[in-house]
Amino acid sequence: MKQLVAFLLLTILFYACANTPSNILESQHLYYGGDIITMSGDTPNYVEALVTNSDTIIYTGRLSKAKKLFPSSNKINLKGKTLLPGFIDAHAHFAGFPSQSIGAQILPPPDAGANNIDALIQILKDWSTPENIQLTGWIFGMGFDDSVLEEKRFPTKKDLDKVSTEHPVMIIHISGHFCVVNSKGLELLNLTAKSPNPEGGIIRRVPGTEEPNGVLEELAAIPFMPMVLGPKSEEAIKVFLTAGQDMALSYGYTTVQEGRAMPSSHLFLEYAATTNFLKLDVVSYIDYSVADSLLTTDWYSPTYKNHYRIAGVKLTLDGSPQGRTAWRTQPYLIPPDGAEDGYLGYPAIPLDADVEKIYESAFKNNWQIHTHANGDAAMDQMIRTLKKVTAKYGNKNRRDVLIHGQYVREDQLDEFKDLNIIASLFPLHTFYWGDWHKEIIGDSLGNKISPTRTALNKGLKITIHTDAPVALPNLMRVIWTATNRVSRSGKIIGKNERLTPYEALKCITEWSAYQHFEEDRKGTLEVGKIADLVLLNANPLKSELDDIKDIIVIETIKEGVTVYKKKE
């Protein structure tokens, strides 16, 4: 197998080096006849034509001049469609895309059909063919949402035992911070009444007993997920990689992030890179607990090796706001199952001293660090500890990032501005959980989730993201939510926090390229930059706001090569 791969690679290299002048001209493309938005500048900038030569943009400007300068180029008429820089999501979990694509589709409407527990059970049963089970050895699905299920509760092992008692079952909560397993799953994970709660996590119990009820929270769940959802054969790895990458390309990604890589997910991506499988760039942030071992390898680099690189460190300080494990300074109005009144959520790392050590390690080694913090108490901890480390090491051009920041306060945004923190916010919440946020933290605070306008007005650099596979990696829905802020029920969630469509597009192009230290080669359509392009069926800047969610990707082009084209 290795010899065959080596032979194929040598063959590809031979023909790549054997270009004739006619071949060079064939790689030169002149795009015209549609809206070409460069995304450079503070206001929309359109050009009539764009020319690429192989993997690089070599001209933008007037069509008449392009035809004179490049008369032999391959002319591509956009036929009224819209051309943009390739999309760069500022935070996602690419290693989880395959599981979302392949697993049982247990998202609620409008993304799938799991609107109650009986429907969820049936979807899992229908998925449970021998071919699917053999991929991982488990029956699995991603994206159930207790806030939308008619029962308004988590499924338990009792529910999942109806799917199977012979095979283990695991379902992942839409937040990515919880899972539920059946009785067979608990057995294989060796979780019993004697199993203690880990720091930063909870094993939920059957009322009145210590017996696990199947629901695992935060660090009681997260370490098991990659173990369970990992493909178990080389053939399964290929199936997973193909499904995940194809899904990303279909949404216009040319650069995607693995936002919390553990050793297993890094090895998965390393395999994809070393086998020349990747068609898009994957930038990875390594969990702080294994940073020392992986950020000393050649994969930690400002440049990509076969489309993969490690860019820095990921630190997680609390949990999920919609799952009510985000750490707050004010109690949740509706505590989760088993919690008492006055419940605030909880920290992932209780001691400031431990958090400070993690930041110090990142600053000392000049590692960029992304910090997940959703509750304002978690962000207080982030600010307290960062101030100490910044005073010691400085923060010039570090571009450290706050990830999510759902319940960030205005005074905290001021602190983040002083600390030069980029705020990567998550306005998808306004649609998926806007109504739920208002229930659990109140109407006034609920309107302030993901305060993109306030952050931008205060002078922070911002990006927005999908956090997929928490939600589908649909970047047009991200743009729609950031500009509309409409909930499932049709309520406006913080009208004053809306972005313009152009600002929202900047968040997934130029500004996200800046976040990854890649603004010199990505994010805008300018001469000398990589020919990463996406073609849409409509212009988000000229569409009705509510129609943005229905815009689809027609074609994705990575370094001048079409890597996805929608079937007609």
Q: Looking at residue 126, which CATH number applies to its domain?
A: 3.10.310.70
Question: 292 lies in a domain?
Answer: yes
pLDDT of residue 232: 87
My answer on whether 389 and 512 are in the same domain is yes
Q: What is the mean pLDDT of the chain?
A: 93
pLDDT of residue 104: 95
My answer on whether 429 and 359 are in the same domain is yes
CA dihedral over 116, 119, 123, 128, signed as positive or negative: positive
pLDDT at 11 over 80: no
pLDDT of residue 338: 82
Question: 52 lies in a domain?
Answer: no
Mean pLDDT confidence for 540-558: 97
Question: 308 lies in a domain?
Answer: yes
The 10s digit of each residue's pLDDT in 86-111 is 999 999 999 989 988 999 999 888 88
My answer on whether 251 and 218 are in the same domain is no
pLDDT of residue 358: 98
Provide φ and ψ at 455, rounded to 5°. Answer: -60, -45
The 10s digit of each residue's pLDDT in 107-141 is 888 888 999 999 999 999 999 999 999 999 999 99
Question: 79 lies in a domain?
Answer: no
- What does the alpha-carbon distance between residue 137 and residue 458 come to, in Å, rounded to a whole number? 50
My answer on whether 245 and 225 are in the same domain is no
Question: 544 lies in a domain?
Answer: yes
pLDDT of residue 294: 96
Q: pLDDT above 70 covers what percent of the chain?
A: 96
The 10s digit of each residue's pLDDT in 458-486 is 999 999 999 998 888 999 999 999 999 99
CB 264 within 8 A of CB 230: yes
Mean pLDDT confidence for 445-465: 97
pLDDT at 353 over 70: yes
Give the residue from 316, 391, 377, 392 showing the smallest Cα distance to 343: 377
- What does the alpha-carbon distance between residue 251 and residue 535 come to, in Å, rounded to a whole number? 10
pLDDT at 182 over 90: yes
Q: In what order do the strands lie in the sheet with 401-404?
A: 87-88, 253-261, 281-287, 308-316, 368-373, 401-404, 422-425, 462-464
pLDDT of residue 228: 86
Q: Output the pTM of the full model.
A: 0.88
pLDDT at 10 over 70: no
pLDDT of residue 332: 97
pLDDT of residue 14: 30
Question: 62 lies in a domain?
Answer: no
My answer on whether 267 and 167 are in the same domain is no
pLDDT of residue 23: 43
The 10s digit of each residue's pLDDT in 412-443 is 999 999 999 999 999 999 999 999 999 999 99
My answer on whether 258 and 141 are in the same domain is no
The last residue of a domain, from among 206, 229, 252: 229
The 10s digit of each residue's pLDDT in 289-309 is 999 999 999 999 999 999 999
pLDDT of residue 9: 31
Mean pLDDT confidence for 523-532: 98
CB 311 within 8 A of CB 516: yes
- What does the alpha-carbon distance between residue 370 and residue 418 come to, in Å, rounded to a whole number? 17
pLDDT of residue 190: 95
* Residue 25 pLDDT level (bands cut at 50, 70, 90): low
The 10s digit of each residue's pLDDT in 498-510 is 999 999 999 999 9
pLDDT of residue 380: 98
My answer on whether 333 and 209 are in the same domain is no
Q: How many residues does the chain have?
A: 568
Question: 88 lies in a domain?
Answer: no
Domain that holds residue 181: 95-229
Q: pLDDT above 90 covers what percent of the chain?
A: 86
My answer on whether 381 and 521 are in the same domain is yes
My answer on whether 405 and 470 are in the same domain is yes
Give the residue from 531, 541, 536 showing the smallest Cα distance to 554: 536
Residue 275: which CATH number?
3.20.20.140
My answer on whether 454 and 326 are in the same domain is yes
Mean pLDDT confidence for 174-183: 92
Other C-beta atoms within 10 Å of 217: how many?
27
DSSP codes of every residue in 116-163: SHHHHHHHHHHH--HHHHHHHSSEEEEEE-TTTSTT-S---HHHHTTT
The last residue of a domain, from among 187, 211, 229: 229
Count of domains for the chain: 2
Question: 426 lies in a domain?
Answer: yes
* Residue 491 pLDDT level (bands cut at 50, 70, 90): very high
The last residue of a domain, from among 199, 229, 259: 229
pLDDT at 13 over 50: no
My answer on whether 335 and 270 are in the same domain is yes
Distances (CA, A) of 211 to 155, 157, 171, 216: 16, 11, 19, 12
My answer on whether 196 and 333 are in the same domain is no
